[in-house]
Amino acid sequence: MNNSKKSSKKILGIGIALLVVVALAIWCSIAAGNGNGATDTFNFSSTFVLFTLVFVIVAFGYLLGGIEIKGVSLGTAGVFLVAILVGWICTLDFGEVPLLGNFHIEGESDKIVSTFKSTIQNIGLILFVGAVGFIAGPNFFKNLAKNFKTYIALGVIIILSGTAVAIICTLLTPEFGPEYWSGVLSGALTSTPGFSAAKDAVAEAANASDLEALITLGHAVAYPFGVIGVVLFVQLLPKLMKADMNKERELLKGEGTEERKLPEKLFKCEELGLLPFGLAIIAGLLLGSITIPLSAAGYEGPCFSLGTTGGVLIMCLIFGHFGHFGKLSLEIPHTTLKVLREFGLMLFLLGAGFHGGVALVEQVSQYGASIVIWGFIGGALMTVVPMVVGLVLAKWLMKLPLLNSLGSITGGMTSTPALGALIRSAKTDDVAAAYASTYPIALVLIVLACQLMITLMN
């Protein structure tokens, strides 16, 4: 009897709720009929549009990334592809379609695009490299000391081989110019600092705006394959080589993983470790802001800085290595680091992909298809050739374990998404140490390569 009364009350409650909803819908429809229609009913503010786009991309991106074919999936890189698609869709003319006009984007100068590019992408990058630094920190210096020459050689060879392909492309297509191919090189190696360095190299030219547009086009054309190509490479190679992943994980641990004892009775402000993470990020941003002149012209000439990525990575490696400062604990739980790493990678790919989709449409419409096709082919070669050369050098000449080799290749390619894919595929965070060891030298060299290509080949 009691159950019957409860069911009746439940049905009555649902009925009243439905009547309220129907009444509200009728009232809003009448009001909309006397005004501007559906645009009066739905208040699509810029904040609403931004967050709607973000979570649509996240939902469908992970849906795409979760599709697995013979053990290979895009993972978080699925967010990147969906972001490109959504960015392109938002540039379309929706005409008189109600409400969708709120999502229309005119071009790169749109406020929402700049938010994706400068805010969402950079926050994601900081969170990702910060988490990687803390994860790799405990074993980083031991691993680096053991393979110091190897990591330097790998970073140099990978960047030089990619640059060599870019130089050949410049010589074969002089009508495009070194500016375009410098942009392609930075995109193929997914290097934002390299992209910025290339634009700095033409800043004083009489036609600087045109040259910067060429650099932007090259970067936008090569970037998608630069992301997806390395992500697929680090997953497919172990399968093609039929590698025993359990054995490879053990070999990787033998390269430098060790247990670390901390002093007892360390002070912790909170259990999640957000205090040490915040302190390391602040220190990294300060380090990355230091600018060093590269010529006698001083700060008027070409300059170098570690930038946001390099500075944050190095300081988080240091914090993660020492684990404490006096009696203050700098340790962060591994679960926190895994969440920050995945969340940061997702934001980075979301921002980069959305901006890339909008930029690609704008640049292609300006320059035509021919230059895009050549750029895509050249960019694909600049992505594939360095990886193959790096693999031969690391695996067969330097005799590094496979996972160590792949970790070094992702660092040499400065590929943030590929490291995330490799960690997921290898099922160990230990590969982050090899990435972090090779990344700094590659970062410096790609910046120099993008600048020197323009200054020496004109």
* Residue of higher predicted confidence among 256 and 336: 336
Residue with tokens 């400065």: 414
Say what percent of the chain tops pLDDT 90: 17
- State yes or no: pLDDT of 306 exceeds 70: yes
**Per-residue model confidence (pLDDT) at position 255:** 57
222/31: higher pLDDT: 222
Identify the pLDDT of residue 96: 64
183 pLDDT higher than 70: yes
Longest dimension (CA), the chain: 92
The amino acid at residue 56 is V
Whether 360 contacts 84, CB under 8 Å: yes
Q: Work out the percent of the chain whose per-residue pLDDT is above 70.
A: 90
- What number of residues does the chain have? 458
DSSP of 204-260:
TSTTHHHHHHHHHHHHHHHHHHHHHHHHHHHHHHHHHTT--HHHHHHHHHHTT----
Residues with Cβ < 8 Å from 194, sequence gap 6 or more?
Answer: 185, 186, 414, 446, 447, 449, 450
Each residue's pLDDT tens digit, 64-116: 888 888 777 888 888 888 988 888 888 887 666 666 767 777 777 778 888 88
Which DSSP string do the residues of 169-183 spell out, in sequence order?
A: HHHH-TTTHHHHHHH
* Domains of the chain by residue range: 115-258+266-456
Query: What single-letter amino acid sits at 338?
Result: K
What pLDDT sits at residue 377?
94
Structural contact between residues 161 and 386, judged by C-beta atoms closer than 8 angstroms: yes
Task: With CA atoms as reference, report the closest residue to 426 among 438, 414, 418.
Answer: 418
More confident residue, 121 or 384: 384
CA geometry: angle 156, 371, 457, nearest 5 deg: 45
Which residues have a Cβ under 8 Å from the Cβ of 253 and sit 6 or more positions away? 428, 430
What is the C-alpha to C-alpha distance for residues 294 and 303, in angstroms, rounded to an integer? 5
| Helix (H) and strand (E) counts in the chain | 18, 6
Q: Which tokens in the block code for residue 114?
A: 């700049």
Query: In this predicted structure, what is the pLDDT of residue 258?
Result: 53
Least reliable range by pLDDT among 84-88, 167-171, 291-295:
291-295
Q: With 90 as the cut, is the pLDDT of residue 382 above it? A: yes
Query: pTM of the prediction?
Result: 0.74
For residue 30, the model assigns a pLDDT of 61
The average pLDDT across 251-263 equals 62
| 163, 452 Cβ separation under 8 angstroms | no
User: If you average pLDDT over residues 2-18, what whole number do you get?
Assistant: 73
pLDDT for residue 44? 65
Query: Of 28-32, 155-159, 249-253, 373-377, which range is least confident?
Result: 28-32
Residue 391 sits at the vertex; the CA angle it makes with 217 and 342, to the nearest 5 degrees, is 60
Lowest mean pLDDT among 165-169, 219-223, 225-229, 299-303: 299-303
Tell me which of 59-63, 258-262, 335-339 is least confident: 258-262
Extract the tokens encoding 340: 């920050």
Helix 208-240 to helix 334-367 angle (10° resolution) is 130
Q: What is the pLDDT of residue 380?
A: 95
Comparing 9 with 89, which gets the higher pLDDT? 89
pLDDT beyond 90 at 159:
yes
Burial class (CB in 10 A: 0-12, 13-18, 19+), 327: exposed
- Single out the residue of 425, 434, 446, 426 nearest to residue 398, CA to CA: 434
Q: What is the pLDDT of residues 411-446, one digit of tens each?
A: 999 887 888 888 888 888 888 888 888 888 888 788
User: Worst-scoring range by mean pLDDT, 56-60, 98-102, 166-170, 441-445?
Assistant: 98-102
Query: Among 8-17, 96-105, 167-176, 434-443, which stretch is predicted with the lowest mean pLDDT?
Result: 96-105
**In angstroms, rounded to a whole number, what is the distance separating the alpha carbons of residues 286 and 281?**
9
Q: Is the pLDDT of residue 295 over 80?
A: no
Q: 107-111, 240-244, 269-273: which has the minimum mean pLDDT?
A: 107-111
Predicted confidence at residue 39, as pLDDT, reads: 55
pLDDT of residue 72: 77
Report how far residue 74's alpha carbon sits from residue 418's, in angstroms, rounded to the nearest whole number.
Answer: 10
CA distances from residue 123 to 53, 306, 365, 436 in whole angstroms, order as listed: 17, 17, 30, 19
Which residues, at least 6 apart from 365, have a Cβ–Cβ distance to it below 8 Å? Answer: none
Separation between Cα atoms, residue 356 and residue 88, nearest integer Å: 9
CB 196 within 8 A of CB 215: no
